[in-house]
């Protein structure tokens, strides 16, 4: 296997994650064998894909002598929750700029009328400073909000490090480049040679890492990101931009023709963080059939999309298909009302 010159990385996730078949589901579908890369098991509360990117992002923050992390996301952001927990583990202050999906007024730090749920609950529990902004203000003023909070910490003698949405940038790309040799070892061990890997795509970093990693390690496989928001063109641009930034930051050379970005945007449904009844049915079905828990914001939507594609015959002729389970359980807890259990 090609030897790659990785930048500094903190060893934070429980790796390698398990790789397992969902044989009862495959039997029900009468289709290919479905394998799951269990990145929901990268840790307990740190569960999910963000920790892989943050291993590289936080190494860079520490290298630069930063003591405060400023990042952003939706109110139920898994990335923000992972950053809050890792900040506490590493003794770094964390400030989260969050987009309030449902309410119009700005909530003051730590003051809420209702009880914080899911990821937001863990953000508070781990001592992160939280600033919640109304959706319009967040979308319009995000660079100014980052600037405001960075200046605020600088004025008090701290050194902030800013992390973009989902830690998806040139540094975060390393997280899933680093996962590719793990996948190759999984395939060798189980004796499979899959042609397709599916995963949920939200801020593009997982897809950028897997796509760049497959090119670097010459893994001939189709990596298909199922969009959970935005459209195909958005992800084509975003994933390419992350890969280009990664190449220029770290001097990585790749044949442009070795980078193929594949996105399926047919399963976004009503919008980000909103799922259809069919997605909730898939979540319920997989939980009781296989004991694997998906969420309605990312993995449930993407897994539902993959099953739909299998049912439509789009993957006919393929014996093994891989799904990267990128976590999200706390987002499911925040939407438990939709499951009427």
Q: Interacting stretch for ligand PLP, rule CB under 6 A, among 18-26, 134-142, 190-198, 325-333?
A: 325-333
- Other Cβ atoms less than 10 A from the Cβ of 158: the count is 15
Q: Judged by CB under 6 A, does residue 17 bind ligand PLP?
A: no
Q: Name the H helices within the chain.
A: 23-29, 50-63, 78-90, 118-125, 135-155, 173-177, 179-190, 205-216, 232-250, 277-290, 299-311, 329-333
Exactly one of 298, 303, 323, 330 binds ligand PLP (CB under 6 A); which one?
Answer: 298
- Residue selected from 17, 129, 196, 299 as contacting ligand PLP according to rule CB under 6 A: 299
CB of 95 or CB of 301, closer to ligand PLP = 301
**Beta-sheet pairing, 19-21 with 33-38:** antiparallel
Give CA separation, 178 vs 11, 167, 171, 281, in Å. Answer: 12, 15, 12, 33
Rg (alpha carbons) of the chain, rounded to whole number: 19
Is the Cα torsion angle 199, 205, 211, 215 positive or negative in sign?
negative
Q: Which is nearest to 175 in space by CA: 338, 341, 48?
A: 48
Binders of ligand PLP among 140-179, rule CB under 6 A? 166, 168
The dihedrals phi and psi of 287, each to the nearest 5 degrees, come to: -65, -45
Nearer to ligand PLP, 203 or 335 (CB): 203
Q: Of the candidates 328, 330, 334, 335, which one interacts with ligand PLP according to CB under 6 A?
A: 328
Residue choice 327, 330, 332, 334 for contact with ligand PLP (CB under 6 A): 327
User: Which one of 60-68, 96-104, 198-206, 211-219 is the stretch in contact with ligand PLP (CB under 6 A)?
Assistant: 198-206
131 vs 165 by CB, closer to ligand PLP: 165
- Measure the CA angle with vertex 163, ends 79 and 216; round to 5°: 85
CB closer to ligand PLP, 81 vs 153: 81
Binding footprint of ligand PLP, residue count (CB under 6 A): 19
Residue 203 within binding range of ligand PLP, rule CB under 6 A = yes
Question: Mind giving me the DSSP string for 113-160?
Answer: SS---HHHHHHHHTT-EEEEEEHHHHHHHHHHHHHHHHHHHHHTT--E
Binding marks (x or -) toward ligand PLP, 25..64, rule CB under 6 A?
-----------------------xx---------------
Least distance from C-beta 176 to ligand PLP, angstroms?
8
My answer on whether omega of the bond before 16 falls inside 30° of 0, hence cis, is: yes
* 213 in contact with ligand PLP (CB under 6 A): no
Q: Is 205 near ligand PLP (CB under 6 A)? A: yes
For ligand PLP, the binding residues (CB under 6 A) are 48-49, 78-79, 166, 168, 200-207, 298-299, 326-328
């Amino acid at each position: 296997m090609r030897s790659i010159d990785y930048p500094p990385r903190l060893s934070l996730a429980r790796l390698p994650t398990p790789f397992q078949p969902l044989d009862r589901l495959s039997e029900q579908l009468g289709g290919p064998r479905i394998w799951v890369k269990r990145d929901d098991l990268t840790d307990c509360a740190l569960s999910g894909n963000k920790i892989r990117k943050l291993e590289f992002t936080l190494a860079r923050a520490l290298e630069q002598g930063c003591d405060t992390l400023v990042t952003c996301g939706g109110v139920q952001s898994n990335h923000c929750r992972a950053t809050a927990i890792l900040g506490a583990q590493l003794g770094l202050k964390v400030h989260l700029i969050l987009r309030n999906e449902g309410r119009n007024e700005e909530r003051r730090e730590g003051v809420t009328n209702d009880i914080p749920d899911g990821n937001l609950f863990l953000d508070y529990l781990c001592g992160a400073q939280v600033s919640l902004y109304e959706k319009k203000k967040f979308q319009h003023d995000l660079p100014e909000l980052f600037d405001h909070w960075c200046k605020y910490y600088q004025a008090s003698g701290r050194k902030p490090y800013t992390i973009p949405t989902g830690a998806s940038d040139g540094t975060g790309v390393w997280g899933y480049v680093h996962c590719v040799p793990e996948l190759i070892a999984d395939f060798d061990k189980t004796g499979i040679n899959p042609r397709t890997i599916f995963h949920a795509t939200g801020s593009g970093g997982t897809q950028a890492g897997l796509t760049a990693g497959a090119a670097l390690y010459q893994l001939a496989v189709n990596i298909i990101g199922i969009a959970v928001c935005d459209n195909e063109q958005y992800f084509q641009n975003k994933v390419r931009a992350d890969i280009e930034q990664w190449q220029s930051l770290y001097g990585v050379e790749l044949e442009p023709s070795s980078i193929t970005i594949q996105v399926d945007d047919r399963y976004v449904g009503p919008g980000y963080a909103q799922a259809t009844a069919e997605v909730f049915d898939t979540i319920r079905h997989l939980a009781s059939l296989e004991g694997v828990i998906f969420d309605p914001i990312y993995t449930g939507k993407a897994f539902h999309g993959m099953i739909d594609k299998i049912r439509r015959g789009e993957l006919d002729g393929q014996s093994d298909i891989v799904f990267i389970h990128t976590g999200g359980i706390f987002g499911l807890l925040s939407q438990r009302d939709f499951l009427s259990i």
